[in-house]
Amino acid sequence: MNFLSSTRHGRTLAVLLVSLATSSAQTPANIKPSPSGVEQIAAAAKSYAPEMVQQGKALFRKDCSFCHGRDAGGGETGPDLTRSKLVTADVDGDKIGPVVRNGRPDKGMPPFDCSDQEIASLVAFIHTQQINALASAGGRKGGGRKGVDVSDLQTGNAEAGKRYFEGAGGCATCHSPTGDLAGLASRYQGLELEEQMLYPKRAKQKISVTLASGEAVTGTLAYLDEFTVGLIDSTGSYRSWRMRDVQYKVDPALNTHVELFPKYTDADVHNLMAYLQTLR
């Protein structure tokens, strides 16, 4: 072995180790800190065009606000999206998009048929609301739900709502303003009334009974055993038949309401709400 060469390698290694040690000993003040989670979220939110945020805001308030609140801060039934881990982890809609399109049936959220542009605008609005909420809280993920502004529930046209109830909405197929809905607005007000309209957790099951003559009778299930099936029809009258004489199909009423979610327009919801408020 060449001793001189070995010595030079040793000196080189020593200099390298000293250099690394000196570098490691530098004060943190000389090192630029990496952005915090809040700063990263802020940077992402600021990248959205204002017009896209506004489009998302309009769509969110039409389809999402009755559960998640008008500002995404949480409603009576939906969580606060500004504090959502899923929203924080979302990149360009890769987490939010699938949830919107597939829904979360186990948690009462229906699927929504949104275009790529609509998803993008929703993502822009939700992320912008998240950074606004964090900024208001000084970077802390605290705060409480703002809920739904009740004034937003009182802007519809009752006559238009009645027409929707009796026609396109199909509500009169199962419900009657003089039957099961009589006095509804006296039992529920404001947001509670709208929740009963959109997502009636205690809704009775819908049943369709086909008689031997071919006539179909629909209503809410009132009685069912191995011998008899009974229902309350749209007039509030009870009717029953021997099981062996008819055919029947029971559909959970809640499913029917959930299936309407993507079909509602903003006007449908507010007009129907206005009409139901007259049922005292």
220-260 pLDDT, tens per residue? 888 887 788 999 888 888 999 998 999 998 876 667 777 77
pLDDT value of residue 31: 42
CB 137 within 8 A of CB 129: no
Q: Which of 31-45, 149-163, 188-202, 249-263 is predicted least confidently?
A: 31-45
Spatial separation of the C-alpha atoms in residues 139 and 119, rounded to whole Å: 26
pLDDT tier at 3, thresholds 50, 70, 90: very low
- pLDDT tens for 11-52 read 443 433 334 334 444 444 444 444 444 555 555 555 789 999
CB 123 within 8 A of CB 96: yes
Spatial separation of the C-alpha atoms in residues 274 and 265, rounded to whole Å: 14
Residue 111's nearest CA partner among 64, 174, 170 is: 64
Q: Where in the chain is the domain with CATH 2.30.30.100?
A: 158-276
Pick the CATH number of 158-276 from 2.60.40.60, 3.40.1440.10, 2.30.30.100, 3.40.630.10: 2.30.30.100
Neighbours of 225 (CB within 10 A): 8
CB 59 within 8 A of CB 118: yes
Q: Rounded to two decimals, what is the model's pTM?
A: 0.48
Domain 37-148 homologous superfamily, CATH: Cytochrome c-like domain (1.10.760.10)
pLDDT value of residue 95: 92
Q: Going by C-beta distance under 8 Å and a sequence separation of 6 or more, which residues neighbour residue 172?
A: 165, 166, 234
